Amino acid sequence: MAVIAKKCPKVRVCVVDISQKQIDAWNSPKLPIYEPGLPEVVEECRGKNLFFSTDLTTEIQNADMIFISVNTPTKTQGIGAGRAANVKNCELCARTIAEVATTGKIVVEKSTVPVRTADAVRRVLKCNEKGLEFQVLSNPEFLAEGTAIDDLMEPSRVLIGGQQTPAGLAAIDSLVKIYANWVPNDQIITTNLWSSELSKLVANAFLAQRVSSINSISALCEATGADVNEISRAVGSDVRIGSRFLKSSVGFGGSCFQKDILNLVYLCETYGLDECAAYWNQVIQLNDYQKKRFSAKMVSKMFNTVTGKKLSIFGYAFKKDTGDVRETPSMFVVRDLVQEGAKVFVYDPQVSREDMFIEMAYTCNVTKENTPRLEESITTSTCPYEAAKGSHAIAILTEWDEFKDYDYNRIYESMAKPAFVFDGRNILDHAALREIGFEVYAIGKPDPTQFNDL
């Protein structure tokens, strides 16, 4: 919404939320999320044509177009638990709009939702008692956290789906005109509602599939002496394949990939497409395997025990340039190490201790109530050198650029010996680390002590 305000100065944009705390944060110098470039855009537009409010009724009544941008988490109980998306927030938004609107509106789904959610939204809106006419569009977002502003300023495509009726096509055209202020027309794709809704799920499934594909090969590389980076370069040089999302790692995380694939799996199961469901579910299973494999390798290489040992985790966010910890691979590795009795010290430049424990409780069901001495077992550090002091091992779990520039001679001198580095992102100079004295193990990289013919 901030980018729309920036690119369309004659359009009034108001972001509304029922949380006064969130709105206060958006109206303050310190925004509630970390995203490079976002503070500058908000500062430029806020108070001019970009506003933040909790007054839902007034803003709904004044709006011509309403974007539904709410969370649609995976259900944790009931039918489809663990796979289906919970779209209750979308329905609640539709009911509120139907209740308080005094004129017809164009209602736009921004949230990632199961295919045919728009039909439910449309039916709820149609039940208004004032005879108002609403048009429902689907306009999924294809941005990535950490590069969201650039992705929105110069999108690869904008997708808009709507009913193929005169009124539906007119609504599509209204939204097209908004984006046409800065997006070339040939990059604005219009479809029917269901194609648009399903396209977002499929796009994220394909991206996650590539990550799991190369991660499966990383295990084979470690067993055979091949180098996964060299494999990625060789395979990615084929123009039919391309090089994007062929970077092997400890696994994918974030709010989208796993949730959207599970949603896709549930949709396939719902329509009796069991083979299709099993195919996409394997992407998730491989990702779980990669995270567990990393934890197991740490334990096995450290003499099959980490009990009582201090271990340092560099990076807790699911990727660099964000503070988002949802489904982060780091959380699963930390959980495994704590269960092994390790003393874990975590350093991340953007993640708070509170967010770590909230996500660990929600996703892993790991709490201080069911995990004795949990908070004592995990220390959050504000300095990477302090986090590493006296540690037996460092695990690189987020690809923050600053991790490449640390003084690893200083770190090595402060650590217990032998000192281990487990690079879950393949961002460090492994040869230089070994020259210092570290024992280094990395995703998809051959162990030079295991192979003498590299």
Residue 85 DSSP code? B
Handedness of CA 42, 43, 49, 52 (dihedral sign): positive
Q: Single out the residue of 408, 388, 402 nearest to residue 344, CA to CA.
A: 388
Paired strand residues for 85: 74
- From CA 152, how far away is CA 156, in angstroms rounded? 9
- Any long-range contacts for 299-304 (C-beta under 8 Å, 24+ apart)? 299/337, 299/340, 301/420, 301/422, 301/439, 301/441, 302/392, 302/393, 302/420
Of 377, 378, 373, 371, the closest CA to residue 355 belongs to 378
Residue 408, both tokens: 């690893």
User: Is 90 annotated in the active site?
Assistant: no
In this structure, what token pair is assigned to residue 254? 């974030």
- The string of DSSP codes covering 202-216 is HHHHHHHHHHHHHHH
Q: Which of 45, 93, 221, 256 is catalytic?
A: 256
The single residue listed with the structure tokens 């800065």 is 182
Instruction: Give the residue carrying structure tokens 């969201």.
Output: 148
Q: Tell me the β-bridge partners of 50.
A: 13, 46
> Do 329 and 253 meet the contact criterion of CB atoms below 8 Å apart?
yes
* Spatial distance between the Cα atoms of 339 and 344, rounded to a whole number of angstroms: 11
Tokens (6 digits) for 394:
């460092």
Q: Taking the mean position of all CA atoms in its chain, how far away is CA 234?
A: 28
Catalytic residues: 256
